[in-house]
Amino acid sequence: MKMLIGENWVEKDDRIEVRNPYNDELVDTVPAGDEDDVKAAFQAAEEGFKINRGLPVHQRISILYKTAEIISNNQEEFARIIASEGSKTIREARKEASRCIDTITISAEEARRVVGETIPFDSREGSENRLGYYYRFPIGIIVAITPFNDPLNLVAHKVGPAIAGGNAVVLKPATVTPLSALKLGEAFIKAGLPWNILNIVTGRASRIADALVTDPRGRMISFTGGTEAGLDIVKKAGLKKIGMELGSNSPVIVMDDADLDQAVELSVSGAFWAVGQNCIGVQRIYIHEAVYGEFEKQFVERTKKMKVGFQLDEDTDMGPMITEQEAARVEKWVGEASQEGAELLTGGKRKGTLFEPTVFKNMPESSKLNCEEVFGPVVNLYKVSTLEEAIEKANSVDYGLHGAVFTRSLDNAFKAIKELDVGGVMVNDSTDYRIDMMPFGGVKWSGLGREGIKFALLEMTEPKVVCFNL
């Protein structure tokens, strides 16, 4: 595929191969963009910003609805691209494609709700004759940098609201999964989005990240990815708005009054969805001692039933990890944890990019698998005596994106809601539950700001005050 800069789909001799992580088959190639391509994209986006801020909102709405319709009419093709270039099974990829339709549709709906309010200037003595209001205006060029694990919908979460709000975009998708983003770009252009508003530069961060992050024409960096890259961006960005959607190692609490079947089923799914390469994936489960034994038995039995294999087979439950390097990293962490005293209940082995769904107990608090984000198919079970102990341990890490509690008690639920240090609490659900209109984001090292269209639109627009001296 080609990258999108200004009014052109751009080719280059230097190309990046996109390979299926299961069998290393070549799926496609994309241009390896460089600093000059980034400069050209900013130049085009300056023009694109002038165009989009001048478009009446009803036209932006029509383009967004039309884009959603195009994705909807080609949903299976989008799903197959997601599953071929990345880790997701075809069933997981279909869900992502359908969520992307939601994300773009909600962007169309929210475009008409970018509103201001009147200001009671006469609330101050001496301002009796003043009358006015504020409205929200677009901030300019949004630099969007996205990860591999939801290669379509996480791009939509930036591009949808940016366009709805009247901005222009310079987008850099993950190098291993650029195809879904380019396909989304094609849908926007087919839907009638004027050229220049959306620019997509494919290329390795090592070559183009600095040019993207430091260019003063970018007014906001909207980043989704790992904490390390996030910190690097913050250091270099200069005077710009920053949106950071980073990682986590999400905690689930299972109380003695929980529906255990439900807690097991949803937690297994939450731990191994997308091979655990999920920012809100379940990594740490704190189980009340009264039900610990039964939970562990059921959880391990259910995990052993997961079918690991080729992600495009309809009956595969868990596909490959994104690269062999990533699978080898998880293998290393698993080996270290075992040496540090953690007890392996099932899994732990790797074959190429395939990693068995893995369950540990007695994970030491100092082990990486407890305190860092594993971003792989590994989950830890811990026995706790009280809800207080579970909450304290859940909060004992540097991350805080989502947390969950399984209980039938309102008191337990409300205590967890109040005391878990996270951006969202799921009651009787997995931490990885999300719909695309809700505010989404974390505390501590899990990020800054919120996505979810309405909330991203607030970040991507600014209030302008208007005052008449009558």
Q: How many CB atoms lie within 10 A of CB 444?
A: 17
Sole binder of ligand NAP in the list 246, 263, 354, 425 (CB under 6 A): 246
Q: Which stretch binds ligand NAP (CB under 6 A): 239-247, 284-292, 294-302, 424-432?
A: 239-247
Q: Taking CB under 6 A as the rule, does residue 99 contact ligand NAP?
A: no
Task: Please select the residue that binds ligand NAP; options are 145, 405, 420, 456, rule is CB under 6 A.
Answer: 145
447 is a contact residue toward ligand NAP (CB under 6 A)? yes
Distance CA 45, CA 39 (A): 10
Stretch that binds ligand NAP, among 37-45, 135-143, 145-153, 407-415 (CB under 6 A): 145-153
Beta bridge partners of 132: 119, 467
- Residue 31 interacts with ligand NAP (CB under 6 A)? no
**Binding of ligand NAP at residue 306 (CB under 6 A)?**
no
Contacts of 404 (CB under 8 A, 6+ apart): 250, 251, 252, 253, 270, 282, 425, 426, 427, 429, 430, 431, 433
- 242 contributes a contact to ligand NAP by CB under 6 A: no
Residue span binding ligand NAP (CB under 6 A) among the ranges 219-227, 264-272, 327-335, 389-397: 219-227
Answer yes or no whether residue 434 interacts with ligand NAP by CB under 6 A.
no
How near is the Cβ of 221 to ligand NAP at its closest, in Å? 8
Residue 378 engages ligand NAP in binding (rule: CB under 6 A): no
229 contacts ligand NAP (rule: CB under 6 A): yes
For ligand NAP, the closer of residues 168 and 200 by Cβ is 200
Active site residue 245: yes
Rounded CA separation 320/90 (Å): 12
* 432 in contact with ligand NAP (CB under 6 A): no
Residue 182 binding ligand NAP, by CB under 6 A: no
Q: Which range of residues in 105-113, 220-228, 300-308, 313-321 is near ligand NAP by CB under 6 A?
A: 220-228
Q: List alpha helices for 358-447, DSSP H.
A: 368-371, 387-394, 410-419
Q: What is the CA radius of gyration of the chain?
A: 23
Task: Figure out which of the listed residues 148, 286, 382, 445 binds ligand NAP, where binding follows CB under 6 A.
Answer: 148
How far CA 1 is from CA of 9, 11, 292, 301, 317, in Å, comes to 9, 8, 51, 43, 29
**Does 209 help bind ligand NAP (rule: CB under 6 A)?**
yes
224 lies in the site for ligand NAP, by CB under 6 A: yes
According to the binding rule CB under 6 A, does residue 171 interact with ligand NAP?
no
Any idea which residue has 């990046």 for tokens? 16
Which of 141, 170, 279, 413 is in the footprint of ligand NAP by CB under 6 A? 279
The yes-or-no answer on residue 371 being catalytic is no
143 lies in the binding site for ligand NAP (CB under 6 A): no
Crossing angle between the packed helical segments 57-73 and 75-85, to the nearest 10 degrees: 70
Is 292 among the residues that bind ligand NAP (CB under 6 A)? no
Annotate each residue in 401-430 with x if it binds ligand NAP (CB under 6 A) or - if it does not, as one string: x-----------------------------
Q: Please tell me which residue in 96, 100, 110, 279 is annotated as part of the active site.
A: 279
Q: Which is nearer to ligand NAP, 191 or 246 (CB)?
A: 246
**Residue of 35, 232, 313, 398 that binds ligand NAP (CB under 6 A):** 232
Counting contacts by CB under 6 A, is residue 38 touching ligand NAP? no
CB of 163 to ligand NAP, least distance (A): 19
Residue ranges binding ligand NAP (CB under 6 A): 145-150, 154, 172, 174-175, 204-205, 209, 213, 224-226, 229, 232-233, 245-247, 279, 373, 375, 401, 447
Catalytic annotation, residues: 245, 279
